[in-house]
Amino acid sequence: MRVTNGMIINTTLHGLYSNMNALNKTYAQMATGKKIQTVSDDPIIAGRALKLKSTVLETAQFESNTKEALSWMEVTESSLDNMTGILQDIRTKCVQASNGTLEEEDLAAVKTDIEQLWQQLQEEANTTYNGRYVFSGYKTDQELMKDGSVNPEILKNGVDETVEQGIEYEIGVNTTITVNTQGMGEIFNEIKTQLEEIISSVEDENLDSTEMNKMFTDKLEDIDNILDKVSEKTTELGSKMSRAIYTQERLTDQETSFKTLLSSTEDIDIEETYVNFNTQYMAYQSALQATSKIIQNTLADYL
């Protein structure tokens, strides 16, 4: 077969273009740190990387939701602990008043203390997280205690509407956790009733010391019942917090694993790529030198 000068030129130029294309591709990998620049470079790697990126974002969102849920529950836990402490203080006051040794001015002091503790209980009932009332069910813009009573928007016809008003955070695929503590309206309605009876009894001048002592003694059981209910709420909340903590730890580990897998899928091996670049660069330089020798002939060489 006759090899013409034009055939030689086309072949050498094709080789140069191939070398330049490979060199340019490797340079782009070094500049971006990624194996592929467009989907057409490697559809399989591109599809796998897109799926992993989506998984990383989804996991990060679940992790953020779990942190938010934990923050809500930590605020609630602190408030419930304070309520328990306040109720225990009220119980202590009742124990002191039930021994029959207190004078009239001492009973008045007990009454004042209980009134102040009741005010503090109401403040705890209206605890907020990020501007939202944590004990008001879905009606997070409504305070639980209003004007010394359970908010009528929360407690209607003696029924605590927060019982069925759970606030849920999505912490996994088809997995949610309820963050709010429900049914506190009924508990505070009961607290209000018991404390009002104590205060009115102390103010009743017709009660003798024996009747007063009996009243305080009887109230101990009622307060203990309320403490038990608050304790149940605290225990239930603690269980949910433990679950959220374990979930958060798992999501953190998963996010790290997915990011590592994503990096191994789409990131280059910098040392290997650098070696490839030098190899391709040397091949390109050799091709340039060979081409300059092959196509240097002019018309004068044939005359």
Instruction: Summarize pLDDT for 197-248 with one digit per residue, the tens.
Output: 998 888 877 777 778 888 888 999 999 999 999 999 999 999 999 999 999 9
Residue 150 has pLDDT above 70, yes or no: yes
Confidence of residue 166 (pLDDT cuts 50, 70, 90): confident
Q: What is the average pLDDT score of the chain? A: 86
| pLDDT confidence of residue 14 | 77
| 278 and 228 within one domain | no
pLDDT given at position 51 = 93
Residue position matching structure tokens 């953190």? 252
Query: Do the domain assignments include residue 254?
Result: no
Neighbours of 248 (CB within 10 A): 19
Asked whether the beta carbons of 29 and 23 are under 8 A apart, the reply is no
> Does a structural domain hold residue 275?
yes
Do residues 20 and 116 both lie within one domain?
no
pLDDT at position 301: 54
96 and 234 share a domain?
A: yes
Contacts of 39 (CB under 8 A, 6+ apart): 46
d(CA 164, CA 285): 76
State the total domains in the chain: 2
Percent of the chain's residues with pLDDT above 90: 48
For the chain, how big is the Rg over CA atoms in Å? Answer: 38
Asked if residue 152 belongs to a domain, the reply is: yes
Q: What is the CATH number of the domain that holds 171?
A: 1.20.1330.10
Q: Which of 46-60, 75-89, 159-173, 250-264 has the lowest mean pLDDT?
A: 159-173
Answer with the one of 242, 259, 290 that is the final residue of a domain: 242
Whether residues 205 and 136 fall in one domain: yes
Query: In percent, how much of the chain has pLDDT > 70?
Result: 93
Taking the model in full, what pTM does it have?
0.80
> Is it the case that residue 290 has pLDDT exceeding 80?
no
The rounded distance, in Å, linking the Cα atoms of 244 and 291 is: 68
Pair (173, 295) in one structural domain = no
Convert the pLDDT of each residue in 90-139 to its tens digit: 999 988 888 766 677 888 888 899 999 999 999 999 999 999 999 998 88
Instruction: State the pairing for strand pair 175-178/168-172.
Output: antiparallel
Q: From the CB of residue 157, how many other CB atoms can be counted at a distance below 10 Å?
A: 6
Last residue of a domain, one of 198, 225, 242: 242
85 and 168 part of one domain? yes
**What pLDDT is attached to residue 296?**
62
Q: Of 227, 242, 257, which residue constitutes the final position of a domain? A: 242
What pLDDT is stored for residue 206 in this prediction? 75
One domain, residues 24 and 104: no
Q: Strands (DSSP E) along 64-127, which ranges? A: none
Q: How many CB atoms lie within 10 A of CB 217?
A: 15
Q: In this structure, is residue 69 part of a structural domain?
A: no
Are 19 and 94 members of one domain? no
Residues 90 and 238 in one domain: yes
Q: What is the mean pLDDT of residues 190-197?
A: 93
76/213: higher pLDDT: 76
On whether residue 10 sits in a domain, the answer given is yes
Is residue 220 in a domain? Answer: yes
Pair 191, 227 in one domain? yes
Helices 270-294, 5-32: inter-axial angle, 10-degree rounding: 160
Q: Is 45 a member of any domain?
A: no
Q: Which residue has the higher pLDDT, 49 or 290?
A: 49
Q: Quote the pLDDT of residue 79.
A: 97
180 and 293, same structural domain?
Answer: no
- Structural domain includes residue 128: yes
Please compute the mean of the pLDDT values over residues 150-154 and round it to a whole number: 86
Q: Which structural domain range is residue 96 located in?
A: 76-242
